[in-house]
Amino acid sequence: MLTKSQKLQQINESKEMLKQSRTLAFIDFSGTKVEDIKKLRRLLSSVEAKLKVFKKKLLRIALKDSGFDFDPEQFDLQVGTISAQGDISEIAGLIYKFSKEIKNKNFKILGGYDLAEKNSFDGVMVTRIGQLPSREVLLGQLVGMLAAPMKMFLYVLSEKSKMVENK
C-alpha cells in the first residue's frame, strides 16, 4: 500500500511524463518475463519512448489535472504506460513486433492516446497502426504508384518514335 506522499510523487511523476510526451500507449504485460520487459524497454529507448507502470487511478488523476479526458481505469488488467514524443505509429510498430516475438500470449495492446490532438485509440486500432509499414516505405510505394503511369507513357512514346524513324 502506498503512502500519501508516495501517491503524490507518482502523480507528479506522471504529470511530468505527460508534459514531455505527445502520445501514450497502454499495454497489458501480465505474465511477461522480466527479461522480455527489459528488451521492450531497450527497443522503446531507440525511439526515445519510455515504459512506466503507474496505478491506474493515479494516472487518471494526473491526466485529469493536465486537462485530458481519458480514463485508464477502463482497462481491467495490469497497465503499462508507454510515453513517446513522436507519433503513435513510431511506438505501435515496435510494440506490435515485440508482441509477436515473445512467447507470452497474455501480452496485449490495450489502446493509446494522442495528447496533442486529444484522441484515444482502442487496442485494435493501435495494433493495425503497428502492422503498417514504416513511413518511408509507404512514401516509396506512393512515389512508385505515381511514377508508374509516367514510365509507361514514356515507353509508349519511345516505341512510337522508333516506329516513325524506321519508316
Size of the chain, expressed as the number of residues it contains:
167
Looking at the DSSP bridge assignments, the partners of residue 81 are: 26, 52
Q: Which three cell numbers stand for residue 141?
A: 510505394
For each of the chain's 167 residues, which pLDDT tens digit applies? 778 888 888 888 888 888 888 999 999 888 888 898 999 999 999 889 999 888 888 888 888 888 888 888 888 777 889 999 988 888 898 999 998 888 777 888 888 888 888 888 888 999 999 998 888 888 999 999 999 999 999 999 998 888 887 76
SS3 26: strand
Q: Residue 47 half-sphere exposure, CB side, CA atoms within 13 Å?
A: 22
- The enclosing H or E element of 108 equals strand 108-114
- Rounded to whole angstroms, the Cα distance separating 93 from 97 reads 6
